[in-house]
Structure 1
Amino acid sequence: MRFTSERRLDDGVLERDFTLGDVPGILWTPGAAAPHAPTPLILAGHNGGLHKRESRLVARARRSAAAYGYAVAAIDAPGHGDRPRPAGEEQVRADLRRAKEAGEPIEEILDALVVPLVERAVPEWRATVDALLSLPEIGGPVGYSGMTAIGIRLAVVEPRIVAAGFFAGGFVPRALRGQARQVTVPLLFLLQWDDEGNDRQQALDLFDTFGSKEKTLHANLGGHTGTPWFEVDDGNRFFDRHLR
């Protein structure tokens, strides 16, 4: 891991850009973070693989760091943000647009987009956890908050993740829906009831499938980007119960 820039924000949070191999990321740490007081870590796995500097993600990360004392990290998913798209992905996206316009089934096409993303992103997240936990100011434990498809696989294969918050607004391939029963960490599942791009019943069925003994569903009225701000604080209180 190599830090490429840093700045102290007006809320006291230290924001540092980093690279890990060819993966770019950002680390936010609270003003009080110090080697003698290691902080827990939240992985901000932005929904849909958006840019690591997407405004809603940055706002959530800064709130978690400034008000709750967490270290928060985000990386650009493969083919998103500052990273080039993999060969062949443009054709898959074109096939998806054409199928939507024609009213044809799109699940197999979405699988062709999301499954490779998960397969590439999860090892990158695990390597990022390795690097971040080697820093003296970060001591774990680790939570994950973000895209459900990546989160399911990460929660299954990464034992250092002890709690997870999933956003139910993204497509989850059938194979990963089958793995959901292997997710056993405490879980907070956010659902926008009127999400125009999300199958509500499929999201409810997925929540029922998760194997966690402690799992909570928060459903709010509104579309895909309408998640109320108070869910940010509810999410931080959820992590307080499991990362402190």
Structure 2
Amino acid sequence: MHFTSDQYLDDRHADDRNPDRRPADDRRPDGGVREREFTLDGIPGVLWTPANATADAPVPLILLGHPTLGLRRMHPRLLDRARHAAADGFASAALELPGCGERPRVPALDLARAELRRTMEAGDPVGDELIDALVLPLVDRAVPELRSALDALLALPELTGPVGYSGGVISVGVRLAAVEPRIAAAGLFAGSLIPRATFEEARRVTVPLHVLLQWDDEGNDRQASLDLFDAFASPEKSLSANMGGHTGVPAHAGDAAGRFFARHLKP
């Protein structure tokens, strides 16, 4: 793992939505969160840690899942989530997804995305084969990369387990929770375009789960999200359903997620 930038961010930038990096003279060791960009085997990522995280006082880690829009574009929202995590005493990290952002394109994914656009523009239903082609190659590549990132991140003295996963793409989170024993709890963002294989993998997930569902999400198949929630084998699972569309997540939903991770990741 190679760190490419290192800065401290304080509350002066809490409402800033500019994804550009801050100048070097704007680093403040007494800031609320430390942000470090890194590359791991050529894959970009970002690590955020509370300013008081040290080798003598390591903090648990939460992996932040995100859509396929690229880390640069997603940075403002990821930073907001990282600030909340840091305030709760957690580090957080995000890894660029395959074929996204500045990473090399994945032709199979590009073809599937183009077919999805044509299908939706024509008003046709999105079939299972297209969903599989759109999502499964991403999951197959992303999950091994996230597991390798965990190896490197947990080797840092200021980080420790247990580890949480928060966000989407939900199929990535389901696969990771099913195969990675270091994931102790997962907070998943419900989404549509769920492959058939993901429903089968959900039956292998037994860690505590907190699933966030926007009831009126215009891009989400509500019933598919409910069916997936039902498929999880976790003895402890909760569904937080809120009225509103995709961008209408209420502030208290983040507070509930923070309490969920505090219960399961802190001693």
Q: Same fold (TM over 0.5)?
A: yes
Deviation, 1:101, is 2.3
**Whole-angstrom CA distance in 1 between matches of 2:192 and 2:257:** 18
Do the aligned residues in 2 keep the contact of 1:192 with 1:221 (CA within 8 Å)? yes
- Name the SS for the 1:37 alignment partner: coil
**Distance in 2 between residues matched to 1:89 and 1:212, nearest whole Å:** 31
Equivalent position of 1:123 in the other structure: 144
Paired amino acid for 1:77: L
Task: Describe how 1:149-164 pairs up with structure 2 within 5 A.
Answer: 149-164=171-186
Q: For 2:238 and 2:119, locate their aligned partners in 1 and report how far apart those are by CA, in whole Å.
A: 35
1:40 equivalent to 2:51? Answer no
Secondary structure, counterpart of 1:81 in structure 2: coil
**TM-score scaled to structure 2, two decimals?**
0.87
- 4+ residue runs over 3 A deviation: none
Between the aligned partners of 1:160 and 1:99, the Cα distance in structure 2 is 39
Gaps of 5+ in 2: 12-30
Q: 2:119 aligns to what?
A: 99
- What is the letter of the counterpart of residue 182 of structure 1? R
Distance 1:16 1:206 in 2: 35
1:211 counterpart = 2:233: yes
Query: What do the CA deviations read for 1:173-226 (whole angstroms, capped 9, x no partner)?
Result: 111111111110000000000011111111111111110000000001111121
Give 1:62's aligned residue. Answer: 83
Structure 1: give runs of 5+ residues left out of the alignment.
Answer: none
Q: CA deviation at 1:21?
A: 0.6
Alignment match, 2:22:
none
Q: Answer yes or no: is 1:25 the counterpart of 2:45.
A: yes
- Aligned residue number for residue 8 of structure 2: 8
Alignment partners' CA distance in 1, 2:200 and 2:162: 27
In 2, are the aligned partners of 1:149 and 1:170 still within 8 Å (CA)?
Answer: no
RMSD of aligned residue pairs (Cα, Å): 1.2
Identity %: 61
